[in-house]
Amino acid sequence: MRYRKFGQLDLEISALGFGCMRLPTIEGKYADIDEPEATRMLHHAIDQGVNYVDTAYGYHEGNSELFVGRALKDGYREQVHLATKLPCWEVKTADDFDRLLNEQLDKLQTEHIDFYLLHALNKGSWTKVHDLGVLKWAEGALADGRIGYLGFSFHDEYAVFKDIIDAYDKWTFCQIQYNYMDIDNQAGTKGLEYAASKGLAVVIMEPLLGGKLVSAPEPIQRLWDSASTKRAPADWALQWLWNQPEVSVVLSGMSAMEHVEGNIASASVSGVDTLTAEELELVEQVREQYSALCPIPCTNCKYCMPCPNGVDIPGNFAAYNQGVMYDDPEAAREEYKWISEEARASACIQCRECEDKCPQHIEISQWMPVVHEVLGEGQPYVCELP
């Protein structure tokens, strides 16, 4: 296992972190963790040098922390740095900070959590917990030893990310969604570099974009196959991350032992500046080819918003496009379900007010019924309007 510096801390953290959001389950039921297999996987990873374990209050419908608490018995707790997260959506009053942390300590069967994050911060949730005094409360939890270091995970735009970092000078680390397709999405490369410039360790989540970068459609695979060094698509994605000095640890949510073994093998040959200029150029070509597969040329500029009928136009298009780009329509349909019903494509009334504002001249009113038919009703994908 290779190890990396964790921000300004005098710690050596394994390049690969074990994410406990996608553990093996029984009969595909997300809440029902296959504990014997998940324990075998986690113990194997730790035995091979993985020393960062990441879970959260809501993972596996509340059962991930319980599992981790049981799996880290018999000396395994002492071998790892344990991370979990405050579920900001569960916070209604300031009293909830202590209630939730103490519940998590009980579930994890530990007296302290090494790395504690404010979970999934965006502009709204950050404003809420900040106004309730979360930073003052956290300093108390740091002082009494219930948590070791404070950080946050993030899902919003770069400007919000920067505001959160600048609002508090005692952040130790942050966790961002980042991969070679998300360089301009959410915190993006700018956020990675800004956080590192402020001395924060940066933990990477979704390095494989929820599994979308594990296998490649035929045009993408042809590009990977053209490289003199042969790697699986997932290995290319991971090595691209580990190549960057600002990356502290890459989390992987592993659901099978083969994932653990493959990721450990990748991590064992990882390092900063190990990819050649030609290899980095190849990753750029792959990104461009994926973008070329995108059927709706939406750039998420949001000029079309707000929709007078409440439709999340960029969100609907993003779900549709990803189904085509990554050849994964079922994942796109699941993503569509996460869009509130009133904001789905089905709510479009074809008023066309948005079309005059779209700099890409997308025929939004014609695409929206197609998006709903495909994602909401399971019809076959189309890549252009008839």
Distance, first Cα to last Cα, the chain: 53
End of a domain among 283, 303, 335?
Answer: 283
Domain membership of residue 345 (yes or no) is: yes
What percent of the chain has pLDDT above 70? Answer: 100
CATH code of the domain covering residue 117: 3.20.20.100
The pairing of beta strand 25-26 with beta strand 3-6: unpaired
Contact 299, 360 (CB under 8 A): yes
- Residue 214 counted as domain residue: yes
pLDDT tens readout for residues 41-74: 999 999 999 999 999 999 999 999 999 999 999 9
Residues 38 and 142 in one domain: yes
Q: Which of 353, 256, 278, 267 is nearest to 313 (CA)?
A: 353
Looking at the predicted structure, is the pLDDT value of residue 300 above 90?
no
Question: Domains in the chain: how many in total?
Answer: 2
Residue 329 and residue 321: Cα distance in Å, rounded? 9
Does residue 330 share a domain with residue 271? no
* 145/88 same-domain check: yes
Please check whether residues 68 and 185 belong to one and the same domain.
yes
| pLDDT cut 90: percent of the chain above it | 96
Please indicate, yes or no, whether residues 231 and 322 belong to a single structural domain of this protein.
Answer: no
Give the pLDDT of residue 77.
Answer: 98
Check if the beta carbon of residue 115 is closer than 8 Å to that of residue 149: yes
Query: Are 244 and 362 in a shared domain?
Result: no
Quick: pLDDT tens for 197-226: 999 999 999 999 989 999 999 999 999 999
Q: Taking 80 as the threshold, does the pLDDT of residue 2 lie above it?
A: yes
Amino acid 307: pLDDT: 96
- The pLDDT assigned to 302 comes to 87
Residue 386 clears pLDDT 80, i.e. is over it: no
Question: How confident is the prediction for the chain on average, in pLDDT?
Answer: 96
Which residue intervals of the chain are DSSP H helices? 35-47, 64-71, 95-108, 123-131, 134-143, 158-166, 188-197, 218-225, 233-242, 257-267, 277-292, 313-325, 329-338, 364-371
Q: Residues 43, 44, 45, 49: what is their CA dihedral angle, to the nearest 10 degrees?
A: 100
| 187 and 222 together in one domain | yes
Domain boundary among 283, 310, 340: 283
289 in a structural domain: no
Contact present, 201 and 172 (Cβ < 8 Å): yes
Q: What is the mean pLDDT of residues 5-24?
A: 98
**Over 90: is that where the pLDDT of 299 sits?**
no
Q: 313 and 189 share a domain?
A: no
The range of the structural domain enclosing residue 385 comes to: 294-386
What pLDDT, on a 0 to 100 scale, did the predictor assign at position 272?
98
The verdict on 48 and 185 lying in the same domain is yes
Two structure tokens written together for 361: 């001249």
Above 90 in pLDDT, residue 281? yes
Last residue of a domain, one of 283, 315, 333: 283
